[in-house]
């Protein structure tokens, strides 16, 4: 077959719907509309193609209304130096590392701190627990659902964890600024607790603290929390920027 015949054969294979503009004209635009509608597609293939239209029409990815408390991406786990920023070594706060056996010693300290908070705030412990239990659905939405799979049908254990850990945080931070002479301030674990409250995987919803301080004499505890955030987070960040 000659080259001219080959060319003719190639052209014959193209759909008759195509539009070709003569190269001899001064038009710089060549539009070719090639439709292959005679190829049968399965329902799955059609759905995949339609997903492109949906993705295009959706515009930019939709961000969540609020960030979720979750474990850090697995890529960060490969760097041992990064673990100090998210994985607790002394005390666990919240559900992400609650079952870590290496942090068992901290459970006694948290319970003792929580007991002092309940006594100090002057509110019946059942009332505090009921406050937390009533808003469990909303509090669980603050976490990645995969992280709370274990507690999907167990609000009781999660609510107890929130009240103990939340009360412990409030009491520990309050004691940082208003030492009432309690011997707990001499506990080495309490010294470490302050830095571990800032770890990415060691967090409670702030709403837990708001609920616990909404009854009784809770204002002084919430004021201590706000001062702690200013001192440890905001002021520290501003000082680092000044150094840079």
Residue 162 lies in a domain: yes
Task: Tell whether the model's pLDDT for residue 120 goes beyond 60.
Answer: yes
> What are 177-233's pLDDT values in tens digits?
875 545 454 555 566 677 778 788 888 999 999 999 998 889 999 999 988 888 876
Residue 223's H or E segment, with its range, is helix 219-229
| pTM to 2 decimal places | 0.66
Residue 8 lies in a domain: yes
Long-range contacts of 123-127 (CB under 8 A, 24+ apart): 123/215, 123/216, 123/218, 127/215
Same domain, 135 and 203: yes
> What are 58-84's pLDDT values in tens digits?
555 454 556 788 888 878 777 777 777
Same domain, 88 and 188: yes
Q: What's the whole-number mean pLDDT along residues 91-97? A: 87
Task: Tell whether the model's pLDDT for residue 55 goes beyond 80.
Answer: no
Same domain, 157 and 115: yes
Mean pLDDT, the chain, rounded, equals 76
Same domain, 133 and 20: no
Q: Which domain holds residue 114?
A: 79-243
143 forms beta bridges with 69
Query: Per the structure, how many domains does the chain have?
Result: 2
Same domain, 214 and 118: yes
69 forms beta bridges with 143
Exposed, middle or buried by CB within 10 Å (0-12, 13-18, 19+), for 60? exposed
């Amino acid at each position: 077959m000659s080259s001219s015949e080959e060319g003719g054969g190639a052209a014959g294979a193209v759909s008759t719907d195509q539009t070709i503009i003569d190269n001899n004209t001064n038009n710089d635009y060549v539009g070719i509309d090639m439709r292959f509608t005679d190829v049968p597609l399965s329902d799955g293939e059609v759905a995949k193609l339609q997903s492109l239209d949906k993705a295009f029409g959706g515009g930019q990815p939709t961000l969540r209304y609020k960030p979720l408390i979750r474990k850090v991406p697995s890529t960060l786990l490969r760097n041992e130096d990064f673990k100090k920023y998210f994985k607790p070594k002394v005390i666990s706060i919240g559900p992400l590392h609650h079952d870590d056996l290496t942090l068992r010693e901290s459970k006694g300290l948290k319970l003792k701190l929580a007991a002092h908070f309940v006594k100090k705030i002057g509110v019946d412990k059942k009332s505090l627990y009921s406050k937390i239990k009533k808003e469990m659905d909303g509090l669980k939405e603050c976490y990645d659902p995969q992280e709370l799979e274990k507690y999907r049908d167990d609000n009781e254990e999660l609510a107890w964890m929130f009240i103990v850990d939340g009360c412990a945080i409030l009491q520990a931070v309050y004691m940082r600024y208003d030492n009432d002479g309690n011997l707990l301030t001499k506990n080495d674990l309490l010294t470490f607790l302050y830095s571990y409250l800032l770890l990415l995987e060691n967090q409670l919803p702030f709403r837990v603290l708001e609920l616990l301080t909404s009854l009784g004499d809770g204002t002084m505890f919430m004021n201590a929390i706000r001062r702690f955030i200013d001192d440890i987070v905001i002021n520290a960040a501003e000082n680092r920027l000044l150094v840079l």
